[in-house]
Structure 1
Amino acid sequence: MSRAQSAPAVDGAESPPPRKQAVPVFIGLMLAMLLGTLDTQIVATAMPTISGDLGGVVQFAWVSTAYLLTFSVATPLYGKLGDLFGRKRVFLFAIAIFLVGSALCGAAGSMTQLIVFRAVQGVGGGGLTVSIFAILGDLFSPREGARYQSYATATFAVSSVSGPVLGGLITDHLGWRWAFFINMPVGAIALLMVIAFLSLPDRRGTPRVDYVGIVTLGGAVSCLVLLTNWAGTAYAWGSTVIIGLAVAAPALGLLWFAAERRAAEPVVPLRMFGSSTFTLSNIVAFIGGFISIGALNYLALYLQMVTGTSPQNAGLLMLPMTAGMLLATMTTGHFMAKTGQYKWYPAASMATSALALYLLSTMTSSTSFAVASAFMAMLGLGAGLSQQVTVLASQSAVEPRDIGAATSTVTFTRMLGTSIGASALGAILNNGLADHASNLSHGASISPEAVRRLPPPAQDAYASAFADSLSTVFLTALPLALAGLAFALFLKKLPLRSRRDRRAGGPDRSAS
C-alpha cells in the first residue's frame, strides 16, 4: 500500500505532546473512565426501582441489552475513527453523546423511551474506554504509559465494586433519575479539562472511511451480542431466532473479512495480525475477559445466594478481589515502566487465575468469609496481572497510525470474552441448578431476598444447590485459563517501545 493510500498523516507524529499536559489531561480522562464504568453498575442497581416506576417489567432486560448492543458495535469503530479524524475530536464526540443519552434517560417517561435512550448512551459509552487508552497511547510510549494505564485500570476496578453501593445510595436518597443525572456534572468537568488541556497533532488529508467494513462488522457484532445474551434465556437454544443469529454472525463476519482485504483504510487493519504479539495479546485478552468478569458475576451470586449476604454487603465483601486487582495492576505498571518488559505478566495472570478458579470451586455454604476473601483476592491478582498488559503490548506491536485500531480491537476482544463467558457460564449454572430442581421448593428463578424469607431447611437447600452449581461453573472455566497460560508462554520476550523507538515511527518489527 502506498503512503497516499495509508491513513492521513499525523503532523508531528515523531514528537509526542509535552509532558506538562499529562496531569490535567489524565485527571479529565480518569473522570471520563469513572463516568463510563460507574454508570453500568449504578443503573443495574437502580433497575428494579426503575421498572417498578415506569411499569415495564416485561421490557426489563432490554434496558441493559440496548446499551450493551450499541456499546459493542461502537467499540471496534472508535479506535479507527480516532486514527482517521483525530483522537481528541472523536473522544469529545463520544463523551458528548454519552452525556446527551444520560440526560434523556433521566427524563424518560416510559420503558420504551428509556430503552431507546440507553441505546444512544451506549454509542457514546463504547468510545470512552477506547479513546482514553488510545489518547494515553498518543501522549506516552507504551513503556512510559504503563504507569498511567495502570491508574486507568485501577479506576475501572474500584468503580466496578463501588458502583452497586453508590447506586443503592442514589436510588434510596435522590431517586432513580439521578442514576443518570449524576453523569452530567462529572462529564462536564471531564469534557472541559480535555478541551482545555489536550493538544494532539492534527490529521492531514482526506480520510477514506471503510463504510462496508463498518456495516458488516457492526452487523456481525450485533448478531453475536444478541446470541450470547438471548440463547438459553429469552429464547431456547434450538429456536429459530437463535439459529438465525448463529448463522448470520459468521456470515457477516466473512463478508467483513472480504471487505477488509480490499479496503484502502480498513476499520480493523488486518496487517496488525501479522504481529504474533498483537494476535496473542488479543487471545489472552479474550480469555481474561471470559474468566475475570464472568467469575466476578458469579462471586456476587455466591455471596448472595449461598451465604445470604445482601447485595450492598456483597459489594463490600468483594473488596479483597478489588484489592488484589489494584495491587497487581499498580505493581505491573511500575515494573513495566522501569524495565520495559511484559512477557511474563500474562503467563502469571493465567496461572494465578487457574489456581484461583480451582480454589473457588471448593467453596461451600460453610466456607468462612476469610477463606472466600483470600480466594477472591487471588482471582483479583490474576486479573490485574494482564488487563493493561494486553493493551500496552498491542500498542507497542503496531505502527503509530494503528494505535487507535489496536486499542479498540483488544478492548473489544476482552469485552467479547466477557459477553460469551457470561452466557456460557450462565448456561452451565442453569444446568447445574436443574439437577437440584426437586429440592428447590420455589424453583431456581428466585431472588436472594425471597430465599432469606424461606424457612431454614429451604434456605439450606438453596445454598447447597447454588454452591454445587457454582463449583461446576468455576471448574469449567479452569481449562480455559490453562489454555490462556499456554498461549501467553508463546509471547516473545520483547521490550515495550520507548519514546526513542516511537520517534522512529514504526512498530517493533521483531514482534512480528
Structure 2
Amino acid sequence: MDIASEAPEATANTGTHRSLDVKIESKPQTQYAYNQDYRFWCIITALYTMQVLCSLENTVVVTSLPTIVKQLDLGSSYIWVTNVFFLTTSVVQPLTGQLAGLFGRRHVALAVVALYTLGSGLAGGANGPAMLIAGRAVQGTGSGGMTAIMGIVISDLVPLRLRSSYQAILAMTYAIGMAIGPIVGGAIVEDTTWRWVFYINLPVGSVSLILLWLFLRVKWDKESKIWNKLKRIDVAGNGLLVASTVSVLIALTWAGSVYPWSSYHILAPLIIGLVGLIGFVCLEGSSWVPEPVMPLRLFANRTSAVIFANTFIVSMLNYWIFFFLPLYFQAVQLSTPTRSGVQILPITLIAVPGAAVGAVALSKWGRYKLLHIIGFAFLTAGIGTFSVLDRNSSTAKWVCLQILPSVGAGMILDTLLPAFQAGVEEIDSAAAAASWSFIRSFGNIWGVAIPAAIFNIYSSQYAADIVTDPTARLSLQNGGAYSSATRDFVESFSEPTRGQIIDVFTRSLSKVFLIGITFPAISFILSFVEREVKLRTVLETEFGLEDRNSTKYSRKA
C-alpha cells in the first residue's frame, strides 16, 4: 500500500494554495517543537472538561425529559428541548473555525464555554417552555463552538500524525459522557430537582474557563483592526448554512410525529433545506465570497471527499445505535430508562480498545485506509447482528453483540479528522476541523430521524397483528410507535396484548438494524477509494503558544 500525496501544492515561502485553481495568499507557517510541558497538559485537561460538558448534555436530558415536560407543561413542544440543541450545535461550527482564525483560539474558546455555561443556567432556571428552549439553544451554540475549537486547538498543539491519540481520548470521553448521561439524568430526577440536570454544568464550565484563561495563550493577529476582521466573515455563507440546516431539522422534527412524511409540511422544508445546502456549496465555490467559511479546496481530492462522506455516515450510525439499542431494552426487554442506560455501557467500554488500536496504529505507521476498511466491515456486521435480538435474548447475547460495532466505530471515528486534514495545508487546519465537526453533528441529526421513520413505518404495518386491543393498535399507527416504545406503555396492557405489542416492537427494530446495514456497507466500499496521504510529522501553525521561540526546530514524531 503506497503512501501517496494528494495534498494541495504550496510554495514553500508563501503558502499559496493551488487547489481548484484558486490562489489564496497566506502567511508562512512557523515550525514548532512538539513540547508536552505543564501548559500543554493544562490545556488538554481544559479540552477534556469541555468534552465532558458536550457529551453529557447530549443524553442527560433523555431520562429527565418526562419530568421536565410534566412540571413545565411543555406539551408538544417538548421535542424542541433536544432538537434545538442539536440544531445550534451543528450550525455554529463552521463559523467558529472562521472566528478562531480571525480573533484567536483563546478568545473564541472562552466565549463558547461562557455561552454554554450561560445556557445551562438559563435552562436550569426556566419557568416556562420558551425560556427552557431558549436556554437549550444557547447551550447548543456553546456546545457546537466547543466541539469545533477542541479539534482546532489540538491541531495547533500536536503534529498531524500524533493527533489521533488525543482525538481518541476526546472520543472516549465523549462516549463515556453519552453513556452515563441517561443514568445521571435518571438519578438526578429521582433524588433531587430536574434543574440540576443543567446546573451540574456550572461548576464544570467554571473549571474549564479558569484553565483556558490561565493557559491557552497562543499567537494571533493582534494588529488588524476589528472592523477589517469582521468584514472578512462569510456572512452570506453562514446565513445560508444556518437557514438550510434549520429547514431540514424542522422537517425531520415533524416527520412521522406531527405530519406524515408525504405531507407538504414535511416535503417543503426538507426540499428547501436540501436545495439550500446545494446552494451553499455553489456559493462557497464562487468568486462572490473571498474567504468562504467552508472553502471547497478542502474537498479538492478524493480522499478528503470520501472522508467527509464517511464522517457523516459513521456519525449517523453512532446515534442510530445509541438511540435505538436502548429502545430495544425498554420496549422489548422492559427495562427502566436508567437500567437501559447501564445496558448500553458495553458500547462505550468496548469502544475503548478499538479507539486505542486506531490511535496507536495511526501514530506508529501513519496509515489509516486499512483501519477504515476493517472498522466499517465490523460496523456493517455489528449493526446487522442487532436484528436477531428479541425478548428472550440473554445478557451474554446482547453484551457480545455490542462488541463488533463498538470496536469498529472506535477504530474509525478517531482517525477520520487526521486523515481529512492530511489532504489540506496546515493553514486550513482550523477550517478543516470546523467543517469536519459540522458534518459529524449534522450526521447525528439524521441518525435519529431516519431510524425513527423506519421504526414508525414498520410498527404501523405490524400493528395490524394486535387483534385483542384496538386502542393499542391505534397507538402504534400514524407515527405514534416511537413515542410509545417505553416500558410504561407496554406494561399498561395485560396479556396477550402485551406480548403482541412486544412482538411488533421486536420486528420493527429488526428492520431498523437490517436497513441500517446499507450505510456502513457504502462506507466500506468508499474506504477502498481512499489514498494513503502522508501524515505530517512536524508542527506548523500561526497559532503557537505565545512564549515559544519561533526558531525552534520541529521534532519528528
TM-score range, shorter chain: over 0.9
Larger relative helix fraction: 1
Distance in 1 between residues matched to 2:283 and 2:15, nearest whole Å: 20
Partner of 1:159: 177
CA contact (8 A) 1:429 1:473 kept: yes
Aligned-residue offset at 1:433: 0.7
Distance in 2 between residues matched to 1:273 and 1:335, nearest whole Å: 25
Aligned-residue offset at 1:17: 7.0
Report the more deviating stretch, 69-78 or 448-457.
448-457
Q: Normalised by the size of structure 2, how large is the TM-score?
A: 0.86
Pairing 1:200-219 to 2, within 5 Å after superposition: 200-203=218-221, 205=224, 206-207=228-229, 208-219=232-243
Letter in 2 for 1:196: L
Q: 1:457 to 1:7 in 2, by over 3 A?
A: farther
Q: What is the root-mean-square deviation of aligned Cα atoms in Å?
A: 2.2
Letter in 2 for 1:377: I
CA contact (8 A) 1:75 1:127 kept: yes
Partner of 2:265: 241
Q: Does residue 126 in structure 1 map to residue 165 in structure 2? A: no
Deviations 1:457-497 (A, max 9, x none): 22321221111111111111112211110101111123322
CA contact (8 A) 2:158 2:539 kept: no
Partner of 2:517: 478
Aligned-residue offset at 1:134: 1.3
CA contact (8 A) 1:289 1:417 kept: yes
Pairing 1:78-477 to 2, within 5 Å after superposition: 78-203=96-221, 205=224, 206-207=228-229, 208-260=232-284, 261-262=286-287, 263-440=289-466, 441=469, 442=472, 443-444=475-476, 445=481, 446=484, 447-477=486-516
Distance in 1 between residues matched to 2:35 and 2:153, nearest whole Å: 13
Distance in 2 between residues matched to 1:494 and 1:271, nearest whole Å: 16
Deviations 1:174-219 (A, max 9, x none): 3111111111100100111111112222136443111111111111
Letter in 2 for 1:30: Y
Unpaired stretches in structure 1, ≥5 consecutive residues:
506-512
Distance in 2 between residues matched to 1:431 and 1:76, nearest whole Å: 35
Letter in 1 for 2:389: M
Q: Does residue 488 in structure 1 map to residue 505 in structure 2? A: no
Q: 1:66 to 1:16 in 2, by over 3 A?
A: farther
CA contact (8 A) 2:33 2:539 kept: no
Identity %: 27
Q: 1:17 to 1:97 in 2, by over 3 A?
A: farther
Deviations 1:237-260 (A, max 9, x none): 233322221232133224323332
Distance in 2 between residues matched to 1:347 and 1:217, nearest whole Å: 31
CA contact (8 A) 1:102 1:184 kept: yes
Larger RCO of the pair (alpha carbons < 8 Å, separation 6+): 2
Unpaired stretches in structure 2, ≥5 consecutive residues:
1-9, 17-22, 545-557
Aligned-residue offset at 1:223: 1.3
Distance in 1 between residues matched to 2:253 and 2:388, nearest whole Å: 28
Distance in 2 between residues matched to 1:425 and 1:197, nearest whole Å: 43
Distance in 2 between residues matched to 1:397 and 1:80, nearest whole Å: 19
CA contact (8 A) 1:306 1:463 kept: yes
Letter in 2 for 1:393: A
CA contact (8 A) 1:329 1:388 kept: yes
Distance in 2 between residues matched to 1:258 and 1:453, nearest whole Å: 53
Letter in 2 for 1:352: F
Aligned-residue offset at 1:456: 3.8
Distance in 2 between residues matched to 1:417 and 1:298, nearest whole Å: 16
Distance in 2 between residues matched to 1:282 and 1:189, nearest whole Å: 33
Distance in 1 between residues matched to 2:152 and 2:166, nearest whole Å: 12
Out of 3, 6, 15, the position equivalent to 2:32 is 15
Distance in 1 between residues matched to 2:302 and 2:218, nearest whole Å: 30
Q: Normalised by the size of structure 1, how large is the TM-score?
A: 0.93
Distance in 1 between residues matched to 2:370 and 2:268, nearest whole Å: 42
Aligned-residue offset at 1:9: 4.1
Distance in 1 between residues matched to 2:321 and 2:34, nearest whole Å: 39
Aligned-residue offset at 1:418: 2.5
Report the more deviating stretch, 343-352 or 236-245.
236-245
Aligned-residue offset at 1:453: 4.0
Letter in 1 for 2:280: W
Report the more deviating stretch, 211-220 or 455-464.
455-464
Letter in 2 for 1:244: A
Larger Cα-atom Rg: 2
